[in-house]
């Protein structure tokens, strides 16, 4: 049985959205986390090594890091396929964008928000304006990250983009607005995030 360790209004909400789309049975265990204002504490019940969310347990396995959890779930639970398997078309793209979210997109936008100067050759991500260009160019002629197929990448990246635009962390271009609308119009998004 899948158990998702969750805290409201955090990255773990996106995994509830994914679990709903997958149609996999799951339970949610609410845990406390440390907050930006200094309040909150790590919950001893949370198996994440840093006490963060999301974390997930399933059949004796513990999985942490949002993208790793998404890949684990979409490989294993296939009632409604939400990502290509090894050997299927677009698998490479799927892995790339899953890794891009925490490895490039998030650090770039967070650095810009906190006024951290980008250093080429030292930082493993790219400057935020370049990331915006890449996202807009990629999504200009595609409905979803993998083309016509909606996948877990759209849940992790697309769902996040909506909130980043609301927080003015990324520009609201027509391309990104149209793309995020396709994600946020989904019944599972409305059920979980609405």
- Residues with Cβ within 8 Å of 59's Cβ and at least 6 positions away in sequence, in order, are 1
Nearest to residue 101, comparing CAs of 164, 51, 18?
164
Query: With binding defined as CB under 6 A, does residue 29 bind ligand GSH?
Result: no
Query: With binding defined as CB under 6 A, does residue 32 bind ligand GSH?
Result: no
How far out from the chain centre does Cα 65 lie?
10
In three state form, how does the secondary structure of 80-108 look?
Answer: CCCCCCCCCCCHHHHHHHHHHHHHHHHHH
Q: Which of 21, 51, 82, 189 binds ligand GSH (CB under 6 A)?
A: 51
139 three-class SS: helix
Nearer Cβ to ligand GSH, position 42 or 175? 42
Residue 57: CB minimum distance to ligand GSH, A: 15
Q: Which of 4, 18, 33, 155 binds ligand GSH (CB under 6 A)?
A: 33
Query: With binding defined as CB under 6 A, does residue 52 bind ligand GSH?
Result: yes
Residue 36: CB minimum distance to ligand GSH, A: 9
Residue 39: CB minimum distance to ligand GSH, A: 11
> What is the phi-psi region of residue 49: left when phi exceeds 0, alpha when psi lies from -120 to 50, beta otherwise?
alpha
Query: With binding defined as CB under 6 A, does residue 14 bind ligand GSH?
Result: no
């Amino acid at each position: 049985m899948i158990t998702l360790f969750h805290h409201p209004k955090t990255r773990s909400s996106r995994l509830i959205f994914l679990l709903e789309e997958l149609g996999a049975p799951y339970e949610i265990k609410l845990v406390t986390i440390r907050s930006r204002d200094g309040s909150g504490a790590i919950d001893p019940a949370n198996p994440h090594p840093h006490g963060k969310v999301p974390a997930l347990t399933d059949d004796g396995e513990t999985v942490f890091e949002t993208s790793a959890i998404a890949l684990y779930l979409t490989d294993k639970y296939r009632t409604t396929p939400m990502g290509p398997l090894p050997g299927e078309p677009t698998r490479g793209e799927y892995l790339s964008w899953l890794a891009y979210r925490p490895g490039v997109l998030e650090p770039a936008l967070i650095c810009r928000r906190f006024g951290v100067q980008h250093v080429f050759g030292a930082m493993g991500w790219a400057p935020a304006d370049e990331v915006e260009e890449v996202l807009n160019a990629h999504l200009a002629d595609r409905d979803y990250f993998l083309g016509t197929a909606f996948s877990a990448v759209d849940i992790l990246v697309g769902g996040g983009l909506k909130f980043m635009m609301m927080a003015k962390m990324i520009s609201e271009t027509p391309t990104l607005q149209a793309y995020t609308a396709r994600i946020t119009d989904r019944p599972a998004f409305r059920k979980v995030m609405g």
